[in-house]
Copies of this chain bind each other. A is one copy, B any other.
Amino acid sequence: MSQISSIAVVSATSRVDSTTAQIVAHYRDMLERNHGCSSELLDLKELPLDFLNAVLYQKDRNSHPGWASWQSKVNAADKFVFVIPEYNGSFPGILKCFVDALQFPRSLRGKKASMIGISDGTQGAALAMSHFGDVLNYAGVTTLALRPRFIEVNKHWDGQRFSNPIYQNLFEEHVKQTVGM
């Protein structure tokens, strides 16, 4: 807590024009403005075009130049924020593919992470965060207990910040607890 952490914020979908990516941008802005913390962006939309064929579940993936920079950024971070949209009642498949491609166990073991869940419906990615929390735990990552569920997000997000002050306060509390963990 007294050391400077290197924080990476993960936009956990590869869908274009996602609300998730907007919320990630706001998260990084809050880290900077409220806490003076710069952060690394890991936007899964930017994974190499041949990720599925040349990286995922490939033994020689670490020599893939487009992937090597992702692995390096993960190695350099000691704290992760995952902004997770709910897809089919769980996390997006691409998020687990990303984790599956990382070197195990050195990429994540002993590090820290927090999660935020968003959904258009009313579940708020509760199961998504339970499932992904199990994955993080398996990887040896300590997770923040506070896991906000932003339900019916499109009613409460104006493109740049939460229009609902309860959501915005909870969001800023999450940023604060993530910095402090």
Contacts and interface: CB of A to CB of B under 8 A. Distances in A.
Interface of A: 13-16, 47, 49, 51-53, 56-57, 87-100, 104, 122-124, 126-127, 130-131, 133-147, 149, 151, 181
A168 to B, nearest CB: 17
18 contacts: A49-B53, A51-B52, A56-B93, A57-B92, A87-B100, A88-B99, A91-B96, A92-B100, A93-B93, A96-B96, A130-B134, A131-B131, A133-B137, A137-B147, A140-B146, A141-B145, A142-B145, A143-B143
Nearest to A122: B151
Contacts of A47: 52
Nearest to A89: B138
A173 to B, nearest CB: 12
B140 A142 contact: no
Contacts of A181: 142
